Every structure is written in structure tokens, then in C-alpha cells.
Amino acid sequence: MDSLDLQVLAQARDWTREGRRTWLVTVAQTWGSAPRPPGSLLCVRDDGLVVGSVSGGCVEDDLIDRVRRGERTDLPTEITYGVSADEAARFGLPCGGTLLLVQEPVSDAGWIDALLERTARHELVARSLDMTTGAVSLSSARRGEAFALESGQMRQIFGPRWRMLVIGAGQLSRVLAQMALALDFEVIVCDPREEYHLTWDIPNTTFTREMPDDAVLSLQLDAHCAVVAVTHDPKLDDMVLLEALRSPCFYVGALGSRGNTAKRKERLKLFDLTDAQLDRLHGPIGLDIGSKTPAEIAVSILAEIIAVQNGVPLLQKKPALESISEGQVCASLTPPA
């Protein structure tokens, strides 16, 4: 889920407690092309102030105008935009798209507090809205559940933010962290080396000096987590990969050439990882876009992570090398003279 939705809920709660009349607007259904998917949220205040988005802007303008004109519903109400081609063009809906919204008043913000507390604990939560009475209830959700509006109930899924654990705090990690933040990831950077800790200054990230495998265990990785190992140091990268590949995290990647990736997989085999677990390792990390600079490499890594996140086949990858011999693995573990 997008943390913007949680920000919208937090703002709705704050405005309501300030004594302002406030409405939540949810994208309930779309036909054709639409700027925002079902479940997207907007909050509008009684003076027309808004946070969040349900379209490219024109629909928001109309919703503000409705509130200012006094169209202030006391129960959940459906609003449809873009029924005709002219209306679709007027409200900026591409390709004749149609948008069904649900507008509801926020009278009691207690459920918002409960939902924010549960998602902060990395829980996946379902919010059910009774379209007849406006009553709201919360329950546990399962990963993969989708937004639904049926039989007089609207059910939205609010999950924890996507998290990214980056092993190593070098130049690539700095760029990668900043881009990941822009993509709405919660970013945790792990590097036990003091010289890297002292120079890390990327705001809105969490830095830990734990050993990487300890950091993986303490974070309790789930299916909303990605692990990116970029230290080039097997003593740091390999141990975290062992734990991450056994976890349910949706992405595990490690920096290195095809040759080094083959050696890494052979080393990991020595720790009784299954073939299925080893196949989860993305290496060489990132899509093959000819990247050279740290920023270009970060783009390729994040492009691959987004593709995995969205279930898109990874077609633009370099072919893997054949496995190497055990003797070569042992030689690779021998420190240089």
C-alpha cells in the first residue's frame, strides 16, 4: 500500500479532532483508464482544504466545489464521474475512463487511531464500511486481498509500508536510499563498519550498526520487505543472504558480477539452502540497462524491485553463468597474499 493513504487518514483524524467537518473520498471502481487505482484516498475539509488524490486534479476541484456549495453528506454516498465522453474529458479522465467514488463523513476518528497503530506494528488490516449506516470495523487481512465494494460493504486493505534493508553504506547505498524513499519505501541501512556509520547523513532513513544477519532477524522480515546487499564483502553479504533467502521477503538481491554471483551461490549451497531458496536470489542485481554510475545502478536495482513487486516478468536480465566447481569456491574464500 501507499503510505500516502495513511497520511490522508492521519490528517482526517487531526482535522476531525480540531472540530472541523471532514469527509473521506475513496476510489471505489474504475472503467477504462483512470489516474488512481481502487482504494486510493482523499480527505476534504469543510473549507475545501484537501490532502491525497483520487484523480489528476479536475475531480478534486469538483469535490471541493461540492463541499463549498453545501453538498455535505452525512452517510456514505456514491459519486460517478466520466459517464459520458464529454464529462470524462472535462474531469481529465483519459481514454473515456469512468470513476466511481465513495464519499463518507468522518465523525469518530477512533478507528483511524487503531488502524494506524496496527499498521505501525507491521500488520495487514482490513477496514469495512457499512454503506447504509456508515459504521466502520477493522479486522485482520491476508496478503493478496483486494479492495472490494459489494453487498453494501466497502472493504479496504491497509498494510504496512514496503521496507528495504540495504546492507552497506557506500556511495551506491546513498543514492539507492534516496530513490527508495521517493518510491515510498521505509529504508533501513545496515553497516557495522564505523567509518561508514560516521559519514551516513541521509535523512528519513534508519541506520543500524548491527551485524547484517542480526539486523535481518531483529527486523522479522515479511512479504513487504526487500533486502539489497551491496558491500562486495562476503563476510557481510553472505550471512544476511542466508537469513533473507529463508524469510518470506519478496525480494533478495546482491551486487556482483555473474562470476561472483555463481561463486556466491555455490558458497550458499554449503549452508543447506534449497535450490528453490537459491533461485530467489537476484544476481547480478538489477535489470540490464547498461548502467555504470552509482545512480544508474540504483535505477536498475529499483526497476527490478518494482517489477518483482508488481509481478512483472524480468525480461531484461543478463544470463547467469553455469555453476563453478567446489575447488573454485574454496579458492575464492582464500584471502589474497
Q: pLDDT for 144-198, tens place per residue?
A: 788 999 999 999 999 878 899 999 999 999 999 999 999 989 999 999 988 887 8
Q: Based on C-alpha coordinates, what's the Rg of the chain?
A: 24
> Rounded distance, CA 315 to CA 288, Å?
9
320 CB neighbour count, 10 Å cutoff: 12
The yes-or-no verdict on residue 115 having pLDDT over 90 is: yes
Question: Cβ neighbours of residue 196 under 8 Å, at least 6 residues apart?
Answer: 168, 169, 170
| 121-136 confidence digits (pLDDT tens) | 888 899 999 999 999 9
Instruction: Locate all alpha helices (DSSP H) within 198-281, ordered by sequence.
Output: 212-219, 234-246, 258-269, 275-279
**Burial of 165: CB neighbours in 10 Å, binned 0-12, 13-18, 19+:** buried
Question: Cβ neighbours of residue 46 under 8 Å, at least 6 residues apart?
Answer: 20, 21, 22, 67, 72
The yes-or-no verdict on residue 23 having pLDDT over 50 is: yes
CB 81, CB 103: distance < 8 Å: no
Residue type, 161: R
Q: What is the mean pLDDT of residues 224-238?
A: 90
- Give domain limits for the chain: 3-158, 163-330
Residue the block writes with cell 461540492? 66
Percent of residues in the chain assigned helix, strand, coil, to nearest 5: 35, 20, 40
Mean pLDDT computed over every residue of the chain: 86
> Rounded distance, CA 134 to CA 166, Å?
43
Domain spanning 163-330: CATH superfamily: NAD(P)-binding Rossmann-like Domain (3.40.50.720)
pLDDT at residue 202 in the model? 93
* DSSP string over 307-329: HHHTT----S-PPPPPP--HHHH
305 CB neighbour count, 10 Å cutoff: 25
CB 202, CB 177: distance < 8 Å: yes
Question: Cβ neighbours of residue 94 under 8 Å, at least 6 residues apart?
Answer: 32, 33, 34, 35, 88
pLDDT at residue 97 in the model? 65
The yes-or-no verdict on residue 327 having pLDDT over 50 is: no
